[in-house]
Structure 1
Amino acid sequence: MRKLKLQMQITVDGFVAGPEGELDWMWTGGQHDDAMFNQILDIADSCDIILLGGNMTPGFIAHWENVVDHQPDSVEQPLAQRMVNMKKIVFSRNQSGITGRNLQTESGDLATAIHQLKAQPGKDLLVYGGAQFVNSLINLNLIDEYYLFTNPIAIGEGMRIFNSRKPLRLNGSIAYQNGKILNKYVAVPPQNSNE
């Protein structure tokens, strides 16, 4: 059975974006960290499908396709190649006109679609965001592994992915030279089947 992995950047006070979706806080350290970048590549390489929420997809597609097509010397190029070439499924009930390479749209029931994908052969599934989409996956107990890169910054307010209690088991931590820390958590199965 395939696993669904979440990889996100998060602030020390628990936000994944500013109040209007701002992500400028991610680059406050300013330095590229090879070890962290290689870890991100390793996580991507363990998966063969990226799941996306409708709100973040246009910006995600535009960014990575632009890096592939117009920034051959970018340090992001190895990741960009993976992001463009990997199969992507965008979950949206109201945005059918989203386009991008290797992209398809899914408008059916979220839990049913994810369970069907998990049952198929292949590598694991990967989700990067956005906040509302990830919150829905968390609330439906669909995420198996959490890869949260904690940034050494607090922003005071913004978007969260957790809005209720969620027991997780810490499976490992890595501190990087740029001040970020990767905490890998494994989902703890709900005690009550009605949750």
Structure 2
Amino acid sequence: MRKLKLQVQMTLDGFVAGPNRELDWMWVSGEQDPAGLQKVINLADSCDMILLGRGMTQEFCTYWESVVDNKPDSPEIPLAQRMVNMRKIAFSRTQTDIKGRNLEVENGDLATAIQKLKNQEGKDIMVYGGAGFASSLISLNLVDEYYIFLNPVAIGNGLSIFKERKILKLESSTVYNNKTLLKYLPA
């Protein structure tokens, strides 16, 4: 059975975005570490599908497609190519068509759809967010591995993906420049 992996950036005080979905805090620590970027690429390579919540899908697709189309010298190009070329499924209760390369929309029951995807042949499945979507997956106990990039910043208020008590087991931690990657498994 395929695993559902959740990869998120998080502040020290447990937020994945500001109260108005701000993400500017992610770049406070400066330039991206090439080793950290390579880890993100390696995690992407362990998967053949990306799941996204409707709220962040358009921004996600627009950003990565822009890197591929307009920034051939960007250090992000290897990751961008993966993000654009990989099969993506956006989960939405309201929209049936969202624009993006290799993107389809799923409107069915979340738990049923995820279990069906997990039972298919293939590599693992990656979730990048958004906050509400990730929170729903966590609440339904659908996440098999958590990859949390802990950023050295506190923002005081924002969006959390944990809405209830969740006990996790730390499997590993790795420091990249000024961020720490924490890998957790459900306890």
Name the counterpart of 1:103.
103
Identity across matched positions, percent: 61
| TM-score normalised per structure 2 | 0.99
Structure 1 length normalisation: TM-score?
0.95
Q: CA deviation at 1:23?
A: 0.2
Within 2, Cα distance between the matches of 1:8 and 1:64?
16
Give the Cα–Cα distance (whole angstroms) in 2 for the partners of residues 42 and 187 of structure 1: 22
Task: Give 1:181 deviation, angstroms.
Answer: 0.3
Cα drift, residue 166 of structure 1? 0.4
One-letter identity of the residue aligned with 2:25 = W
Equivalent-residue separation in structure 1 for 2:41 and 2:57 (angstroms): 20
1:145 aligns with 2:170: no
Q: Is the 8 A contact 2:97 2:104 kept in 1?
A: no
Write the distance in 2 (CA, Å) between the matches of 1:79 and 1:50.
13
Whether 1:30 aligns to 2:9 is no
CA distance in 2, matches of 1:174, 1:9: 14
1-structure distance, mates of 2:132, 2:89? 16
The amino acid across from 1:98 in the alignment is I
The equivalent residue for 1:15 is 15
SS of equivalent residue, structure 2 residue 5: strand
Q: Aligned AA for 1:181? A: T
Give the CA deviation at 1:51. Answer: 0.2
1:91 alignment partner in structure 2: 91
Number of the residue aligned with 2:40: 40
Query: Deviation per CA, 1:11-39, whole angstroms, max 9, x where unpaired?
Result: 00000000000000000022120110010
> What is the aligned partner in structure 1 of residue 167 from structure 2?
167
Q: Which secondary structure does the structure 2 equivalent of 1:32 belong to?
A: coil
Unaligned runs of 5+ in 2: none
Aligned residue for 1:64, secondary structure, equals: helix
**Is this contact kept in 1: 2:7–2:147, CA < 8 A?**
yes
Query: Can you list the C-alpha shifts for 1:121-157, whole angstroms capped at 9, x where unaligned?
Result: 1000000000000000000000000000000000000
SS of residue in 1 equivalent to 2:14: coil
Task: Kindly indicate whether the alpha-carbon contact (under 8 Å) linking 2:170 and 2:185 is maintained by their aligned counterparts in 1.
Answer: yes
Partner SS, residue 62 of structure 1:
helix
Match of 1:192 in 2: none
